[in-house]
Amino acid sequence: MSFFHAPTSVSLAIGTGITLLDLALSQHLAARRMFEEFDTIHLRAGGSLLDALEGAGLVEVRRDCSGQIDRVIRRADQMTILYKMMDLIRHDYTAGCHSRCLTSA
C-alpha cells in the first residue's frame, strides 16, 4: 500500500483555483491598505494624496457615514496611478523647496 498517488486533473484544478482566489484577495487587501495610507499623506497644497488622485480622476473614493474609506475604485491602471502620484509628490516637494528658498533670501 502506497500513500503517494498521482494528482488528478480535478485536484489540480481545485488547487489552482484556490491559489488564484487567495492571490486575488491578498492583492485586494494590500491595495486597500495602500490607499488608506495615501489618505494619511497630506500635501502642502491642501488635502491628502488620495484626494489629489481622486481629483485627477484616477480613483473614486466612497466613504461611510463616519468618513472612513469604504471603497476605492480604480479608474486607471496601477502604473498611471503611480506616475501621477510621483508627479504630485515631486510637485509638492519642489513647491515647498521654492517657498523655503524665497523666505530665506
What domain range includes position 53?
31-104
C-alpha cell recorded at residue 14:
481545485
DSSP-assigned beta bridge partners for residue 71: 62
pTM: 0.69
pLDDT tens string 31-88: 889 999 999 999 888 889 999 999 999 999 998 999 888 888 999 998 999 999 999 9
Which cell is 67 given? 468618513
Does 84 fall in a domain?
Answer: yes
| Residue 23 forms part of a structural domain | no
**Domain-embedded: residue 76:** yes
Q: How confident is the model at residue 98 (pLDDT cuts 50, 70, 90)?
A: low
Domain-embedded: residue 59: yes
C-beta pairs of 100-105 under 8 Å, 24+ apart in sequence: none
On whether residue 64 sits in a domain, the answer given is yes
Question: Is residue 24 situated within a structural domain?
Answer: no
93 found inside a domain: yes
User: How many structural domains comprise the chain?
Assistant: 1
Q: Is residue 11 part of a domain?
A: no
